[in-house]
Amino acid sequence: MADEASGKGKHLGGRIKEGLGDLLGDREMKREGAADQMEGEAEQDQARAREQEREAAARKEAAKRAKE
């Protein structure tokens, strides 16, 4: 299960890899770095979505209790 910190690490690693690929003229490394960045961003998005889901469930439960 991915978390936001892991996603940030992947994204940062991808940026570095992409930059190195650009610097060295290695197109494959540059593409891999861009792909790693996208994967890291997706992991961060998943983590944020899970957190929003938990918060929404807590708000729903609180509203339910307030009605009682």
Q: Looking at residue 32, what is its pLDDT? A: 97
Domain count, the chain: 1
Spatial separation of the C-alpha atoms in residues 55 and 49, rounded to whole Å: 10
* Close Cβ partners of 2 (under 8 Å, ≥ 6 residues apart): 43, 46, 47
Residue type present at position 11: H
Instruction: Tell me the whole-structure pTM to 2 decimals.
Output: 0.79
Domain span holding position 14 = 4-67
Tens-place pLDDT, residues 46-61: 999 999 999 999 999 9
- Closest by CA to 31, choosing from 23, 22, 41, is 22
